[in-house]
Chains A and B, each alone.
Chain A
Amino acid sequence: MEDVSLSLDDLARQSGIGTRVIRDYIARGLLPGSQGRGRAAGYSSSHLERLLAIQALRARGRGLADIQQVLERASNDEIAELARGARAIGTDALRPSSALDYLDSMKSALPAPARSFAPAMAPPPPSPLKPMPLSTAEALANLAEHLRAIAGYQPRPRARSAEWVRVAVNQNLEIAARGPLDTPGRLALERVADAIRALTEPENEGKTGTA
């Protein structure tokens, strides 16, 4: 018979999930209630594994109804695998960082403020990467290479909110990538802008922009 010596507080401590949330999961049927009776009642290691599996799925953005379906279909081995994944990351990593950590990360990640939050139609900065005159085919290949670089750049999931980093191509055209971007990311974005300029100048004069 499985050892049921974990209390609710033990579960909370070892999983990193608050007791109120654990009770909520039990009420929803995501987690079985305590086993045993009276003073012998408690939770087992399989409760802890299931809790960690729920955390791992929540960290991937899955909703509770979705998670319930996943767990109903999953074998014990699959639940254990999810729990192992959660342990490997660490329960702290499954929670968002603290507000203080976020503020500190802003300070280190922000490039010079004027460039991060420049007005949409700021004139393009002088670029050390301005390409030599290219044929159209070479310019297109160049653009494709830089677009692949910026499209594949961000290792994180897409940001939840709509912060965009914008680079002006000319007075009528700008490009934007979902931020935040650090320095290599901004560099890749500016290379894309350079490549578009190489393709479009001087034919772009006189065309209306997309306001």
Chain B
Amino acid sequence: MTSPAPTLTLTAKVDREFAWYRGGSVRYIGIEIKASELPAGSEAPPVQPLNLAVVVDASGSMSGAPIAAAKAGVEQLAQRLAPDARLSLVSFDDEPTVHLSGLRLSEGVARIYSALARIRAGSSTDLGAGWLEGVRCAAEVMERGPGFRNRVVVLSDGHANRGITDPLALAHHAEQLRIRGISSSAIGIGDGYSPPQLEAIASSGGGRLHRADTPAEIVEVLLGELAESERTVAEDISLSIRAPRGASIELVSAFAAAEDHGATTVALGSLAAGSTALAILRVSLPAGDAGLESVFTIEGSWRRPGESNSRIALEPSSVTISLARGEANRAQPRDMAFSGEVAGAWQTAIVRQAVQLNREGQYRLAQSYIQGQLRHFSRYCEGLPEAARLVAELEMLHGSIAREWDERYRKEAELSSYKMSRRERDVRAAAPASWAEAMPPQKK
């Protein structure tokens, strides 16, 4: 029996339903999207053919083991692709080179091997040009006919130092291309890549961000990205949240967000069957009469893989926060389970910011930042089960952030907290279980 087409449901919640009528209250809204499970015993619905462009950094720093591993990964990946898949292969240093464009896998893998053999490490890094050339190859396949799942995967070990280098520009283009049916994922290799640049491409591009430290991990991550892509039943999931007059919204979770005609839009990426994504927003309420209701309206939409011209709307929802006088505000019940999730997301946001400050050499500022956040965070965590661990981890971070971290630890902590915030799985077998495990050893 073939299962019915997957569906998505949207649920909105708030940690506390009242806010102080004199203003200044901060509350947290959660918007959870759940993809339906495949019924037990049923076959997965048919999967549209994959249109994949792999873009490999061939700058000088990739020479030797990294580029050899990237090539080996693409070889193994090609062996796993279905005969009706399309593969494009682009390498880049200071300019992109197209080695394969929309090759149908049924034409045989020999051309893939000979194309891989032609990739040589060069000089500088025009990441943007390489990535967009890969997008062009995928877009040309799209023009020939609908019904493909369109993906670009970029592998890079360095900072873009030519062409488009601004993460905001990369994010804008990734978003525009995502809207037009092409998702982009990124794999950072080693310690030298730019997290903001690759995160911009992956997060705004509706794809996944990965990291690989060793040649074996490069292969593992490429195959893991393919596996995750094959499990996707919903892609380009987008939310639009409108705040009432006087209220403000700030996204806590590590998704790409933008302002659009007075609404906050959030790009949640894709989901596999049975999985969920949770966007947590911090909202600030203005002063007003007690009893006044602030209604936050939420809409969303998504696409089925291979249906780039057709979006499905989610059932809209809303969250109401009412202004109340002191006693009612203080005595109100709290959604403890959701508050625990808020604490987890908040903690990962603090980690990411602190690690970035450490990278910039602002050690004292990083420490002072954590200290300031801990004052509010520990108060929020009072009474929450499991939250004592979160507070203790931040205190540990506070103790170690005031000295320079090795870049490897910074990247691992960043990626781990990014994935935790997005409820994404790290496909590496040796990935740290949490950002706290990724911290440098404590000095005695």
Contacts and interface: CB of A to CB of B under 8 A. Distances in A.
Nearest to A61: B261
B136 interface: yes
A86 B166 CA distance: 37
A174 to B, nearest CB: 13
Given A20-B307, A28-B313, A161-B258, A99 B172 contact: no
Contacts of A160: 175, 258, 260, 265
Closest 8 CB pairs of A and B: A18-B310, A99-B139, A163-B172, A63-B299, A99-B180, A100-B139, A161-B172, A65-B316
Contacts of B260: 61, 158, 160
Nearest to B204: A161
Nearest to B316: A65
B169 interface: yes
Interface of A: 17-18, 20-21, 24, 28, 61, 63-65, 95-100, 102-103, 106, 113, 116-117, 157-164, 179
Given A63-B316, A65-B297, A95-B309, 18 more contacts: A18-B310, A21-B311, A21-B312, A63-B297, A63-B299, A65-B316, A96-B179, A98-B139, A98-B142, A99-B181, A102-B180, A103-B135, A106-B173, A113-B164, A160-B265, A161-B172, A162-B168, A163-B169
A21 B150 CA distance: 20
B382 interface: no
B168 A163 contact: yes
A162 B139 contact: no
A159 B172 contact: yes
B6 to A, nearest CB: 12
Interface in B121-179: 132, 135-136, 138-140, 142-143, 150, 163-166, 168-169, 171-173, 175-177, 179
A64 B313 contact: yes
Given A64-B299, A161-B204, A18 B172 contact: no
A176 to B, nearest CB: 10
B240 interface: yes
A100 B261 contact: no
B247 to A, nearest CB: 18
B394 interface: no
Contact of B307 (A18, A61, A64, A164): A18
A113 B163 contact: yes
B182 interface: yes
Contacts of B304: 20
B312 A99 contact: no
B166 A117 contact: yes
6 contacts: A95-B309, A99-B135, A100-B136, A117-B165, A158-B261, A179-B172
